[in-house]
Amino acid sequence: MSALDTERPRTRALRGSILHFLADPAALGPKQAYEYFEDGLLLLRGGQVQAVGAFEKLQAELTFDTELEDYRGHLIMPGMIDTHIHYVQTDAIASYGEQLLSWLADYAFPVEGRFGDSDYADEVAGFFVQELLRNGTTSALVLGSVHKHSADALFTAAQAQGMRLIAGKVMMDRNCPDYLRDTPASGYEDSQALIHKWHGRDRLLYAVTPRFAPTSSPEQLALAGRLLDEHPDVFMHTHVAESRDEVAWVAELFPDNRSYLDVYDRYHLLRERSVLAHCIYLNAQDRARLAATGASAAFCPTSNLFIGGGLFDLAAADAAGFRVGMGTDVGGGTSFSLLRTLDEAYKVLQLSGQSLPPLRAFYLATLGGARALYIDEQVGNFVVGKEADFVVLDMAATPLLARRCSLAKSLEERLFALMILGDDRAIKATYVMGQRRHAR
Ligand code: GUN
Ligand code: ZN
């Protein structure tokens, strides 16, 4: 490499249909919220977006040494963002027949116990990160197990792929098996050490992760709040109001609180960069608190159906004005694919007389997820200077998808077919910082 090459990284380019969002279609009206280039060009330099637009307009930017990849006939979109997933439950996916509290006891806790073995943690972390990429997911907010090295294993695997990933070791000091129990002091110290080691290293970020109110003592919840006060740009990640039995249990454990969400509020855990999975059994005051504090909800439809928790109310979330992203919630959720997740989200909303237009759905899986995680200055769309995480979608990945798309008369109709019929087979390639990390 010459000195000039090291100073000015070579421009790379991808040609194909390109879609990305600039705003929430529900807030702005669909036409102003997105850009679509039927024959588009995405120019990259040094892992960042240099330009995006119509091929016709941008082709003058191509030079003799631009490396051009031709994806004509395919759809290039920002990488999808999973706002809630448990990597330590990879091997608990598709476990039969329980509702939340017994599902945790019978399946989730035993499999998480295996993370006491660091070789197992390393192996699962490597598989998990590959599975994200195979499904077109380039960023995720991830729970580890209670074991400190579960977080080390995941960060190491994500770092090797150059991913922007947020994760944390679970804190839980009660109402769980002894083999999964930390203490307020050890949970605080281990989280503190992990923050120092990983938060802000390459593209990795740390989330303080009290599992949910029933498995943390008041003392531990207070220390989680202290960690956030000490590290204001660190994330908070937990569950709230997923099932009726869980809500009733929290009312018994915290009789003085106004609601389940109020427990977190009292310990100062609701803030910007706080993400709460499920948010099903909330009242108007709870929703107003999420909006006022800047906390976000992760909507996890495959999990809510599989575990039987209930139906997320997206219209109420929109009316209250808090941030929402899509979560797979594997292993309570049944797929790593955000396409499968959008399919189930559509059906969950149908059961409540609501809907999910396809443009909104793909916004939620990309820029909406980035906003929910407060990483939208870095990723989520193709605004110039953003990190070039993106996915190439094959609209003819299966005979049925090809057939249905060939009948579609609009972009919206093709996107809808993709979210209802698509899965990992539709992910032709996944790129992280402009580097191809998965290809079919
Ligand atoms: N609530 C507390 N822990 C969990 C978990 O592991 N999965 C789900 N779906 N809900 C939870
Ligand atoms: Zn979960």
Is residue 166 very low, low, confident or very high in pLDDT (cuts 50, 70, 90)? very high
Residue 2 reports pLDDT greater than 80: no
Tokens of 23: 């705003």
Query: Once rounded to an integer, what is the mean pLDDT over residues 294-302?
Result: 99
Residue 82's φ and ψ, nearest 5 degrees, are -100, 115
Residue closest to 142 by CA, chosen among 199, 86, 192 = 86
Measured in angstroms, how far is the CA atom of residue 277 from the centroid of ligand 1?
Answer: 9
Q: Which of 100, 253, 260, 306 to mutate to test the pocket of ligand 1 (most atoms within 8 A of CB)?
A: 100
Query: Once rounded to an integer, what is the mean pLDDT over residues 354-375?
Result: 98
Report how far residue 170's alpha carbon sits from residue 235's, in angstroms, rounded to the nearest whole number.
13
Please report how the helices 411-421 and 338-351 are oriented relative to each other, as an axis angle in degrees rounded to 10. Answer: 100
Nearest residue by C-alpha to atom 3 in ligand 1: 211
Q: Does residue 300 contact residue 84 with C-beta atoms inside 8 Å?
A: yes
Q: Does residue 419 contact residue 429 with C-beta atoms inside 8 Å?
A: no
Residue 29 reports pLDDT greater than 90: no
- Percentage of the chain lying above the pLDDT 90 cut: 96
CA angle (414 as vertex; 411, 418 as ends), nearest 5? 135
Numbers of helices and strands, H then E, in the chain: 20, 16
Q: Which atom of ligand 1 is nearest to the CA of 300?
A: 9
Question: Average pLDDT of the chain?
Answer: 97
Residue 1 reports pLDDT greater than 50: no
Report how far residue 208's alpha carbon sits from residue 195's, in angstroms, rounded to the nearest whole number.
9
Q: What would the pLDDT profile of 321-353 be if each residue is shown by its tens digit?
A: 999 999 999 999 999 999 999 999 999 999 999
3-state DSSP assignment of residue 19: strand
Q: What is the DSSP string of 270-334?
A: -STTEEEEE--S--HHHHHHHHHHT-EEEE-HHHHHHTT-----HHHHHHHT-EEEE---TTTSS
Cβ neighbours of 201 (radius 10 Å): 12
Residue 223 reports pLDDT greater than 60: yes
Residue 8 reports pLDDT greater than 80: no
Is residue 7 very low, low, confident or very high in pLDDT (cuts 50, 70, 90)? low
Q: Which of 107, 115, 212 to mutate to test the pocket of ligand 1 (most atoms within 8 A of CB)?
A: 212
3-state DSSP assignment of residue 34: strand
Residue 250 reports pLDDT greater than 70: yes
Residue 158 reports pLDDT greater than 80: yes
Query: Burial level of 284, CB count in 10 A (0-12/13-18/19+)?
Result: exposed
Is residue 10 very low, low, confident or very high in pLDDT (cuts 50, 70, 90)? confident
Query: Once rounded to an integer, what is the mean pLDDT over residues 165-180?
Result: 98
Pocket residues: Cβ below 6 A from ligand 1? 86, 100, 104, 108, 211-212, 239, 242, 303, 307, 329, 332
Q: What would the pLDDT profile of 83-124 be if each residue is shown by its tens digit?
A: 999 999 999 999 999 999 999 999 999 999 999 999 999 999
Measured in angstroms, how far is the CA atom of residue 210 from the centroid of ligand 2?
Answer: 11
In order of 15, 19, 107, the CA distances from 343 in angstroms are 28, 19, 26
Residue 6 reports pLDDT greater than 80: no
Q: Which string of b and e fits 47-71 if b means at least 16 CB within 10 Å? A: bbbbbbbebeebeeebeeeeeeeeb
Q: What would the pLDDT profile of 405-425 be if each residue is shown by its tens digit?
A: 999 999 999 999 999 999 999
pLDDT for the residue numbered 322: 98
Measured in angstroms, how far is the CA atom of residue 189 from the centroid of ligand 2?
Answer: 23
Tokens of 337: 């694919």
Q: What is the DSSP string of 52-116?
A: EEEHHHHGGG--TT-EEEEEEEEEEEEPEEEEEEEGGGGGGTT--S--HHHHIIIIIHHHHHGGG
Q: Does residue 94 contact residue 336 with C-beta atoms inside 8 Å?
A: no
Query: Once rounded to an integer, what is the mean pLDDT over residues 52-73?
Result: 96
Measured in angstroms, how far is the CA atom of residue 365 from the centroid of ligand 1?
Answer: 21
Report how far residue 246's alpha carbon sits from residue 276's, in angstroms, rounded to the nearest whole number.
15
Measured in angstroms, how far is the CA atom of residue 237 from the centroid of ligand 1?
Answer: 12
Report how far residue 209's alpha carbon sits from residue 237's, in angstroms, rounded to the nearest whole number.
5
Q: Does residue 230 contact residue 193 with C-beta atoms inside 8 Å?
A: no
Residue 5 reports pLDDT greater than 70: no
Residue 256's φ and ψ, nearest 5 degrees, are -90, -5
- Percentage of the chain lying above the pLDDT 70 cut: 98
With residue 12 as reference, give the H or E element that holds it.
Answer: strand 11-21
- How many Å is the maximal CA-CA distance in the chain? 70
3-state DSSP assignment of residue 123: helix
Residue 432's φ and ψ, nearest 5 degrees, are -120, 125
Residue 393 reports pLDDT greater than 60: yes
Residue 38's φ and ψ, nearest 5 degrees, are -60, -45
Nearest residue by C-alpha to atom 11 in ligand 1: 239
The alpha-helical segments, DSSP class H, found in 90-215 are 100-103, 109-113, 118-134, 148-160, 184-198
Tell how strand 274-278 and strand 235-240 pair up: parallel
Q: Torsion angle, CA of 325/245/316/338, rounded to 10 degrees? A: 20
If you search the block for the tokens 């109020």, which residue do you land on?
262
